[in-house]
Structure 1
Amino acid sequence: MKCKSIGVLVMALTVFFTNSVLAAGNPFADVPADHWAYEAVNNLVADGVLTGYEDMTFKGQKEITRQEMAMMVARAMVAENNVEVSSRDKQAIVQLAVEFSDELNSLGLRVNRLEQQADLITWQGKVEYTYKQARGDLLVGRDSSNAMLLRLEPAASLSANWQVRARLEAASELSRDETGTVNLKRLYAQGDYASWQMKLGKLPLYTNEEGLLWDGQYSGGQASFGGGWKRQQGAVLTLLGGRLSPQELPSSLGLVSDEAADLFGVNLDGTKKKGTAGVGAYRLKSDSWNKAYFAGENTATIWSLHGAYRFTDRLCLSGAYGENTKANSQDTAWQTELVYGRYQPEAQGSWQLYSAYRQLGEAVAAAGTGDALHYGQKGWEVGAKYAPWKNVGLILKYGDGEEIDSHQGVKQYFARVECFF
C-alpha cells in the first residue's frame, strides 16, 4: 500500500513540474527570480564587487532574460580587475561566467581567461565556536561541551565545467584542552552543466529532506538531471550510490562493525512558483551492521517526503517525513519548521527566527542535522540567527522535549559563533 502511494505521488510530481522542465531546456528562456544566479549577483553587490546596481536592478520577483543576466555577469568580470575580490566571490564569478558563457560570447566578451585559471585553487572556510548544554530527567547535573572547529574548503578548476573540491576539518574540545587533528572529510570531482551535474569521490550526503536524514558524507557518485542542479526551476532527479561508513552514525547506536554499508538512493523534487516538494527512497545494506538501522536482513529501506511553501521573501513553512520499513521501533521521523527572515552571514545585519517541532526516530534520523534535539528525541525547538558583522554569525537554539521511548524530559541549549572567510 505504501509503495502504491509513493508511486502515485511520484507521478503527480512529474506531471506538476513537466512544463517547467521543458522551459528550462530552452537556452533563450527567461531567468526565473529564484535562479541561483540572482543570489550570486546579490552577494557580489553586498561585497562591493558590483556597484551601480540600482541602474540594472532585478530585486523584484520579475523574470529577466539571459542576455540581461549576462550583462550583470560581464560587469562582475570587469569589476574583478578593479577591486579586491575574495576567493568566494572569484569562485562565484567563474561559475556565473560558465553558466552564461554563450550569452557572454554573443556580447563579444570571451571567457577564454577561465582556461588560464584552470590551475587556480580558491580557498574558503569557517571557524566556529559551539557551546552545548543538556539537561534532562536522566542526567545528573548538566552535560555541556565547548568545541572549536576549523573548516577549510579548497576548490581547483580543471576546465570550464569541471573542478575538484575538498573539505578539511580540525575539531577540538576546549574543556579538555585538546589539540585538533586535521581530517580530510571530502574530496570529489564536480561537473556542472546547463541541465545536469555529476559528483564523484568522497562527497556530501545531504538529501532533499533538508537535514532530517543525513548531514555528512559518503564515498561514491551522484548525478542530478532536470531543471538545473541548484533546483532553479522544474523537477530535478538525483541518483546516488556508494558506501556509507559507520563513523557517519553515532557510536551510541551500537553498530558492531567498522565496515561500510552499501548505499543507494533516488530523489525527485523541484520548485514551481512559491512551492517546493519532493520524494526520496534509500537502501542501505551491510552483512555486519546488526544494530539500530538494521532489524532484519541487515538492510534498511527508508522512504521520505518533503515540501515547503514560501509565503513571502522572508516567511517560509517547510516539513519532511521519513520511514524505515525494516525497523521494529523508532521507525518514523518527521519535522515541521516555520522560518521568518533571511540569515546571510555575508550580509551584515541579516537575521532569521524559526520555530520547529521534530520527532526524530533513531532508525531514520540518526545522522541528521539536529542541534537542539537529536535522534531518539521529540519536542519543540526555537532559534535565532544574526549577522552583527559581515561574514560573522551568531546562532542561538533551544530544544524542549523528551526521549521517545522513555518519555523522560530533556532540554538542550545551543550557542554558536561562526566566522567565514
Structure 2
Amino acid sequence: MMFKKIGMIAVALTVFFTTSVLAAGNPFADVPADHWAYEAVTELVSDGVLTGYDDMTLKGQREITRYEMAMMIARAMAAEKDVEVSTRDKQMIAQLAAEFSDDLNALGVRVACLEQQADVVQWNGKVEYTNKQARTSAAGRRSSNTLLLRLEPSAAIEPHWQVKARLEAAQELSQDETGTVRLERIYAQGDYDALQLTFGKLPLYTNEEGMLWDGQCSGAVASFGGGLKRQDGAVLTLLGGRLSPEELSPDFGIVSAEAADLYGINFDGTKNKILAGAGAYRLKNDSWDSAYFSAGNTAAIWSLHGAYRFTNRLRLSGAYAENTKAKSQDTAWQTELDYGTYRPEMQGSWQLYSAYRQLGESAAAAGTDDALHYGQKGWEVGAKYAPLKNVGVILKYGDGERIDSHQGIKQYFARVECFF
C-alpha cells in the first residue's frame, strides 16, 4: 500500500514537472517511506487538488526527495487559488507547508506564518432570515420571522481525522429578543478510502433525503463502501446512539424529557443514473406513552427509497417508510421531481421542484418540514436561486391537510441565506 502511494506521487511528479535534471542533483534528503506526508499528498491527488494523470494503479519502488515533495506542495498551494478546495484539504496543505517550510523557502515559495496557520481552526457558516406563514380554517393565520447565525468550526488532527462543531443562535424578530448560542454538534470524523467513522454529537440525516430525520443525535456512525469516494458505488452505514425528544415529533408518544436509544442500518447504491436504498431503525424509551405503540415503548421503522436521473438537471425520487410498532399514522411516503442545479456558491444557479408528501407522524418522526409537517399530507412546490455568489433565496409553498382531521392547511416558506 505504501509503495502504491509512493508510486502515485512519483507519477504525478513526472507529469507535473519537467525538472529531471534539477531533481537528479538536488541537495535534499529522501522523505522516509513511512512519513505522513505521503498519505496527505495521495489524498490531495484523490480529491482532485493535484491532477495530471489517470492511472491510479501504477506502483513505484522509490522514495520521494524533500525537494520533490516541496514542489508537490507548492503546486497544491497554487491550486488553492484556481479551484474549489475543501476546508479539510486546505488544512492539509497548510500542515504540509509547515512541515516542509525550509524546502519551500529554498524554492522561493513564501510560507511565512504557515506553522501557525496549520493549527488555526477553520470557520465556515451562514446567516439566514426565514419567514414562515401557515393558514388553517380553525386557527387562522400564524407567522414567524427568524434570524439565525450558524458557525461551523473545523480543525484537522492528522491527514485522516478532523474535529467539527456547529453553533447556532436564533432570534425571533417579532419579539426583539436576545438569541442564545447553542452547541448543536461536536464530533470527530475519520475519512479513509472506503471507510468513514464519526463519533460525538453528530448530524442525523437519513438516506431517504431526510424524510424520517433531519437533525442530530449523540453516538457513533460507521460507513463503508466505494460510494464514499465515487459517484457510482455502494455505501453501508451503521449507527447507534441516543436521540433527544427535541429530534422527534411531539405526537410520538413522548411524555418525558428522557432521550431514546437509537440503532439503525441503511444502504445506498448508485449505478449510472439510478440510486436505490433501504434503511431500518429501532428506537426505545421506557417512558413513552404505550397508547402510541403496540410494543409499549418501542418504535421499529423501515424505509425504501430510489431516484432516477433523466439528465444532469432532471431527477425523479421517491421514498416510503413504515413504523411496524405504531398504532396510527404508521406510514410515510413522498415523491419529488426536481429540475435544475442549485449551488449557492455558483452565482445564477437555480432549481425548481414539485412534490407530494404524506408524513404520518409515527413514521416521519422529525424530517425536513419546511412547507409540510409531520401529520400532514399534500402538495409542495418550491424554487431555489443564487442571485450572488454564496447567497441563496429559497421559496416553498405547501397545500395540504391534517391526516387525522382532514383540516385544510396552506403554508408559505421564504428564506435568504448568506454563506461565508
TM-score (norm 1): 0.76
Q: Does 1:91 align with 2:88?
A: yes
- Residue aligning to 1:124: 124
**Deviating more after overlay: 383-392 vs 364-373:** 364-373
Shift of 1:67: 8.9
Structure 2 gaps, min length 5: 1-6, 9-42, 59-71, 96-112
Shift of 1:234: 1.7
Shift of 1:92: 4.6
Query: Equivalents in 2 of 1:266, 1:115: separation in Å?
Result: 42
8 A Cα contact 2:211 2:368, kept in partner: yes
Question: For 1:321-370, what per-residue CA distance to the aligned partner results, in whole angstroms no more than 9, with x for missing partners?
Answer: 11000001100001111000000000000000000000000001130012
- Residue aligning to 1:304: 303
Shift of 1:79: 1.9
Query: Equivalents in 2 of 1:292, 1:244: separation in Å?
Result: 21
Aligned residues: 351
- In structure 2, relative to structure 1, the CA distance for the partners of 1:200 and 1:89 (3 Å cut) is closer
Matches for 1:9-408 after TM superposition, within 5 Å? 65-66=55-56, 77-79=76-78, 83=81, 89-93=86-90, 119-140=119-140, 142-229=141-228, 232-251=231-250, 253=252, 255-290=254-289, 294-408=293-407
> Helix, strand or coil: the match of 2:246?
helix
Equivalent residue letter for 1:393: G
8 A Cα contact 1:334 1:359, kept in partner: yes
Shift of 1:270: 1.6
Query: Equivalents in 2 of 1:305, 1:397: separation in Å?
Result: 25
Query: Equivalents in 1 of 2:235, 2:406: separation in Å?
Result: 40
> Helix, strand or coil: the match of 1:394?
strand
- In structure 2, relative to structure 1, the CA distance for the partners of 1:219 and 1:414 (3 Å cut) is same
Query: Equivalents in 1 of 2:245, 2:230: separation in Å?
Result: 30
- In structure 2, relative to structure 1, the CA distance for the partners of 1:39 and 1:248 (3 Å cut) is farther
8 A Cα contact 2:248 2:366, kept in partner: yes
Question: For 1:287-324, what per-residue CA distance to the aligned partner results, in whole angstroms no more than 9, with x for missing partners?
Answer: 01226864533000000001111111111111111100
> Helix, strand or coil: the match of 1:78?
helix
**Deviating more after overlay: 280-289 vs 224-233:** 224-233
Shift of 1:384: 0.2
Shift of 1:395: 0.4
Shift of 1:66: 4.5
Equivalent residue letter for 1:212: M
8 A Cα contact 1:401 1:411, kept in partner: yes
TM-score (norm 2): 0.76
Query: Equivalents in 2 of 1:39, 1:346: separation in Å?
Result: 22
Identity over aligned pairs, percent: 68
Question: For 1:115-157, what per-residue CA distance to the aligned partner results, in whole angstroms no more than 9, with x for missing partners?
Answer: 98662311101110000100112223x1000011110000010
Query: Equivalents in 2 of 1:76, 1:291: separation in Å?
Result: 62
- In structure 2, relative to structure 1, the CA distance for the partners of 1:381 and 1:155 (3 Å cut) is same
Tell which structure's C-alpha radius of gyration is larger: 2
- In structure 2, relative to structure 1, the CA distance for the partners of 1:319 and 1:92 (3 Å cut) is farther
Q: Report runs of 4+ in structure 1 exceeding 3 Å deviation.
A: 36-41, 63-68, 73-76, 83-86, 88-98, 113-118, 250-254, 291-295
**Deviating more after overlay: 204-213 vs 226-235:** 226-235
Query: Equivalents in 1 of 2:248, 2:307: separation in Å?
Result: 27
Structure 1 gaps, min length 5: 1-26, 29-35, 45-49, 57-62, 99-112
Question: For 1:230-266, what per-residue CA distance to the aligned partner results, in whole angstroms no more than 9, with x for missing partners?
Answer: 5633211100001101121244656211111110000
> Helix, strand or coil: the match of 2:228?
coil
Bigger RCO of structures 1 and 2 (CA < 8 A, at least 6 apart): 1
